[in-house]
Amino acid sequence: MKRYLFNTRAYAYVAVFVALLFLPRFLGAYHLMMFESGLAFAIMAMAHNLLLRYGGLLSFGHGAYFACGAYGVGLLARYYPDHFSFELAILCALALSLAISVLFGFLVVRHTRIFFSILTLALSMLIFAILVKAYNFTGGSDGIRVEIPTFFGYEFDMRRIQFLVGPYYYILLGVFTAATLTLLAIVNSPFGKALQATRDNELRAEMIGAQVKKTRWYAFVISGLFAGLAGAVWSFVNGHITPEISDWVFSGEIVYMVLLGGFMVFEGPIVGALVFTYLKLYAISSTEYWMLIIGSTLVILVLLLPGGITGGFRSLFLRLKR
């Protein structure tokens, strides 16, 4: 308890949380919705970083689990519109992403490094192919509309935009906070330490009793679950889901978010996801050649600022302190 009470990080968390509570007063509807998708992506990026930073595994197909979450919500909306409640939708999303990440995780954790990346990428394209080809079931490339859900029996009788800038912001903030704290707890748990041991030295971890493959598999499943959660909460913000989120280009953008924020800091991916959301919005709205902008900033980032935004601040801070 003491460890948490007298911790500057804990105070910073509380301060940021309070600031976020009052954010809707300062942001317009449009920017608040952008911020909401940014928050959803932030959960996604943290889930991805659990594997990258703590497991040393670079997934290039995390969009697949994000898509599983979104389609868990979408399929419920499509086939059981009468039972379309937020809590049930989240459960469906978690169930679907759990099933897929257990299955895929079993296959991919037998590999590390580049083989792991290629495999996760290829498997995400399998999900993409299924989502597109099984159009009778999933709506194909047209996707599925996601309406306003009920929330524990309460019905929101309002327009979509009102729902998004009003109650949904606080629901999403709650989910985001819970996800962040849970992931932080996982990272600092014995399991998290075992995962880091498998990253640093596979053989040594095995020798001191960590079950390397199993640890990686569990980490993969946890990461997939949180990715699914992110996809689920994002689908309500976007109001419409398409198979594109399972395309590997989106998975590449996830990696970009994580590195943009700085993957060596736990909170880095959050910063990265928010900045990336605005960067992409700005690029798309200002030019037809937005990929050129995203690509160039990506290249510059990798070449000049490998620690990402938080890494850059940290080294600046350390330099000033000296």
Partner 1 sequence: MGLIYTLNGFYFAAFLFLTSLGLSIILGVMGILNLAHGALYAIGGFVAAYIIGLMGGDAIVLIIIASALCAMIAAGLTGMVEETTLIKPMYRRPLEYQLLITFGALLIIEDLIKLIFGGESRYASAPFDAMGSVRIAESTYPLYFLFVMAVALVAGLLIFWLMSRTRVGIMLRAIEMDREMAQAMGIPMRKLSVMAFVLGASLAGLSGALVVPTTPAVLGMGMEPLIMAFIVVVIGGLGSLKGAFLGSLIVGQTRSFGIVYFPEMEMPLLFLIAVIILVVKPEGLFGQK
Least Cβ distance, residue 289 to partner 1 (angstroms): 5
Closest to 47 in 3D by CA, of 62, 37, 68, 67: 62
- Among 289, 315, 316, 317, the residue binding partner 1 under the rule CB under 8 A is 289
Strands 240-241 and 144-145: antiparallel
302 counts as binding partner 1 under rule CB under 8 A:
yes
Measured CA angle at 270 (ends 291, 172), to 5 deg: 105
Measured CA angle at 122 (ends 203, 284), to 5 deg: 115
In the complex with partner 1, the residue whose CB is nearer, 59 or 85, is: 59
Measured CA angle at 202 (ends 201, 208), to 5 deg: 90
On whether the CB atoms of residues 266 and 187 are closer than 8 A, the answer is: yes
44 counts as binding partner 1 under rule CB under 8 A:
no
10 counts as binding partner 1 under rule CB under 8 A:
no
284 counts as binding partner 1 under rule CB under 8 A:
no
H/E element, 145: strand 144-145
In the complex with partner 1, the residue whose CB is nearer, 172 or 254, is: 254
Please count the other Cβ atoms lying within 10 Å of the Cβ belonging to residue 239. Answer: 15
Q: How far apart are CA 250 and CA 88, in angstroms?
A: 26
- Among 111, 160, 213, 314, the residue binding partner 1 under the rule CB under 8 A is 111
310 counts as binding partner 1 under rule CB under 8 A:
no
Least Cβ distance, residue 306 to partner 1 (angstroms): 6
Window 117-156: contact mask with partner 1 (x via CB under 8 A): xxx-xxx-xx--xx--x-----------------------
Window 240-259: contact mask with partner 1 (x via CB under 8 A): --------xx--x--xx--x
Q: How far apart are CA 23 and CA 15, in angstroms?
A: 12
DSSP state letters, 268-284? HHHHHHHHHHHHHHHHH
Considering only the stretches 30-38, 116-124, 225-233, 267-275, report the one whose residues sit in contact with partner 1 under the rule CB under 8 A: 116-124
Least Cβ distance, residue 293 to partner 1 (angstroms): 9
Window 206-225: contact mask with partner 1 (x via CB under 8 A): --------------------
Q: How far apart are CA 254 and CA 251, in angstroms?
A: 5
For residue 134, report the phi and psi dihedrals to the nearest 5 degrees.
Answer: -85, 55
Q: Which positions lie near partner 1, rule CB under 8 A?
A: 52, 58, 60, 107, 110-111, 113-115, 117-119, 121-123, 125-126, 129-130, 133, 248-249, 252, 255-256, 259, 263, 288-292, 294-296, 298-299, 302-303, 306
